[in-house]
Amino acid sequence: MRHILRVLAAALLWSTTAAAEPASIEQARTQLIAGQDAAAADTLIAVAKRGHDAIAPLPSELWRELYRRLSRANDTDRTLALDLALLGAHFDAGFGADGLNGFAARSVLGLTEHGRLTQARALLAQVQEPQSLSQMLVDRRYAAMWPAIEARANPDFTAIEANWIGITARESAAEPQNFRRLTALGAALRGAGRRAELIALVEPLTGSPDRAAARLGLAPGAVALDDYGWAVNEYAYAFAHSGRAPEADRVFADLVDMGMERAPQLVGMIINRAELLLAAGRFDNALNALAAAEPLDRTASVYGQMWAWRIRVCALHALGRDAQAADPLARMAAAKADNWSAYTAAMLCLDRPDAVETALLACLADERFRAEALAEVQDTQTPARLPFEAVLHARLAAVVARPTVATAIERWGRLLPPALRRTSTD
C-alpha cells in the first residue's frame, strides 16, 4: 500500500511539475499530431507571448498545417489570436520583412472581419509591401479599410515602393549570403519598374550558385540552387519586361542546363520560361522549353501540372495542332477544380468566351483562387508588354465587361480606379 501511495505521490508531483513547465513548440506539435488543433494553437500563442526567441524555432510545416486546419474548422477567433501573437513576437518564418509583412496583412484582415477597425488601422502601418496593399485594395473583405489603405497608397504607391526597396536592400546588405533576401529585393525593384537596377544587382552573381558563392567570399555549396534560382528568376523577368526577351530566355536556359533534377522545386523556372515565350508569340519555342519539365511531371502537384498543360494547349492551338492539344485539354477539364486560374487562362487561349466566363466566375467564388482572379482582371486595364499577351488581355476585357462577371467582381472585390493603380508595377 505504501508503495502504491509513493507511486501516486510521484505521479502527482510529476503532473504538477509538468503543468508548471512553459508551453513549448514540441508540445504544440504533439497536440497537432493528436488532432488537438485548438490546443496546439493556444500553446503556440502562449509560446509567442514569451517573445521572439521562444517562437523563432517554429518550423514552417507546423504553423502552415495548423493554419490549414483552423481554416477548415472556420476557427477565425483562434486564427486571429495566433496571427497577432506571432506578429507581436516578430516571428518572420525566416523571410525577414517579407514574413512580418505577411503576418501583418493577415492580422489586418482578421481584425477587419471581426469589426475591430481601430486596431486594424493601427496595424496597417506594418503592412509595407506594395503588392500586399494592392491586393487589399481590390479585395472586398477589406472594404471597411479601403479609405485608410487608399490614404496610405497616396496615391500611386511611389513612396510605398521606395520604402519597401529600402527595407529589402538593408536586409540583403546585412545578409549578402542569403539569396532569399536578394530575391525579395529583386522583386521590390521589379515591382517598382526599376529593372536596370535589378539587372545590375544580380548580374555579378549569375553563372552558377558556386560562382555566386565565390563572388560573396563563401565556400562552394554555400548557395543552394533553389534559392539561387528564384533570385535569377527576378533577373530574367527584368530582361523580359525591358524588351530584351532573348536575354531573358538565355538566363532561363542556363538555369535549366544546371540540372533541374538537383532542385525539382525549380520546375517553376521552366514553366516561367515557357510562359514568357508563349506571351511573346514564340509558340514552338514555348513547347520546346516546356519539354524540360516532363521528367518532373510525376512529382509536380496537379495545380502545377495545370499550368504546364495550359501552355501546351495554348501553344498547340496557336500552331493549328488542335488534335495534339486534345489530350492536355482533357486533363485540364478533368482537374479544373484544382486550378481554376490555369483553366481560365486556357479558355482565353482557345477564345471561348462563354467558357472563360464560367471559369472566371468559379475562380471568384473559390477562396483559393479569388485573389489571383481579382489581380488578373486588373490587368485588363494596363497595357500588355508582349504580343500574345495583348491578345489575351483584349479577350479577357470583353468577358470582364459582361454583366454577370461585373456583378461577381463587385461582390468579391472591385476594379481599381485609375488614380489608385500602380503605374510602375511589373
Q: How confident is the model at residue 122 (pLDDT cuts 50, 70, 90)?
A: very high
pLDDT at 319: 97
Residue carrying C-alpha cell 506571432: 86
pLDDT at 420: 78
How do residues 247-292 score in pLDDT, each as one tens digit? 999 999 988 888 766 667 778 888 999 999 999 999 999 999 998 8
pLDDT at 298: 64
How do residues 17-57 score in pLDDT, each as one tens digit? 334 457 899 999 999 999 999 999 999 999 999 999 999 99
Q: What are phi and psi of 59, to 5 degrees?
A: -75, 145
Using CA atoms in the order 218, 202, 197, 280, what is the torsion angle rounded to 10 degrees? -170
**Residue range 198-204: mean pLDDT, rounded:** 96
pLDDT at 291: 87
3-state secondary structure of 360: helix
CA distance 85 to 360: 36
Poorest-pLDDT segment among 253-257, 307-311, 315-319, 420-424 = 420-424
Taking residue 335's Cβ as centre, other Cβ atoms within 10 Å add up to 16
pLDDT at 301: 84
How do residues 131-161 score in pLDDT, each as one tens digit? 999 999 999 999 999 999 999 887 678 999 9
CA distance 188 to 407: 33
* 273 burial type by CB count under 10 A (0-12 exposed, 13-18 middle, 19+ buried): buried
How do residues 62-95 score in pLDDT, each as one tens digit? 999 999 999 999 999 999 999 999 999 999 998 8
pLDDT at 260: 62
pLDDT at 18: 38
pLDDT at 197: 97
Task: Indicate whether 401 pLDDT > 50.
Answer: yes
**Residue range 209-217: mean pLDDT, rounded:** 92
CA distance 307 to 342: 6
Task: Indicate whether 2 pLDDT > 90.
Answer: no
pLDDT at 299: 67
Q: What is the mean pLDDT of the chain?
A: 89
Roughly what angle, to the nearest 10 degrees, separates helices 302-318 and 340-349?
0
**Residue range 391-398: mean pLDDT, rounded:** 94
Q: How confident is the model at residue 417 (pLDDT cuts 50, 70, 90)?
A: confident
Q: How confident is the model at residue 240 (pLDDT cuts 50, 70, 90)?
A: very high
Tell me which of 216 and 10 has the higher pLDDT.
216
**Residue range 169-192: mean pLDDT, rounded:** 94
Poorest-pLDDT segment among 146-160, 177-191, 296-310 = 296-310
CA distance 190 to 168: 12
CA distance 363 to 365: 5
pLDDT at 423: 60
Q: What are phi and psi of 413, to 5 degrees?
A: -170, -135
CB 306 within 8 A of CB 332: yes
